[in-house]
Structure 1
Amino acid sequence: MDITVPANTTTYAYQNNQVISLQEFTVRNGDTSYQVSAWTNDEGTPFASLDVYQGTPETGKHLAEIRLDPNTVVNNISHSLAQEDVTESDSL
């Protein structure tokens, strides 16, 4: 599934260190936020999920989490989004 949204309604965040890698992409639709996350845990096991919030992920109410199969998720979340005028979030 491909979803096209205006860049000004999205944000992304990423963190990468020697232990974990975490990347998130958030799309807002009115007062609802949809956050796709892809990460690896301490053991290097990949995970992916879609979380739905009323409001923002930072301060809103968590409505749902859908675990995604990390083996079928295509992860194109990266700092290169900045070159496409997508705003980097100031927090994960």
Structure 2
Amino acid sequence: MPKVTIDFDEVLLKDAQLKDEKMIRHIFALGLTQLKIDRALRLYKQGGMSIGYAAELAGIPKQEMFRQARVRGIEPSFTEETLREDLGPDQ
């Protein structure tokens, strides 16, 4: 596994009480997840990909990607095919 060294401001570390390496890894992972979501939604807005594919790129469930899109003011479009995928073939 590659190692990354990050220099933090002492005040930030003290204020956030980041003394535990496990907590720092968790915060870093959250940041990477948000970066992936932002990147996928930017590509989605540019067109040419479904919200489902954007979710796949970001590594999150489609329902979470819908929520993330709405939080950012993006209203995902629904096609008949998208609805069929979400509801299943019996609907």
Q: TM-score range by the shorter chain?
A: under 0.3
Question: So what's the TM-score if we normalise by structure 1?
Answer: 0.24
Q: Which structure is higher in helix share?
A: 2
Question: So what's the TM-score if we normalise by structure 2?
Answer: 0.24
Q: Which has the higher contact order (CA 8 A, sep 6+)?
A: 1
Q: Which structure is higher in strand share?
A: 1
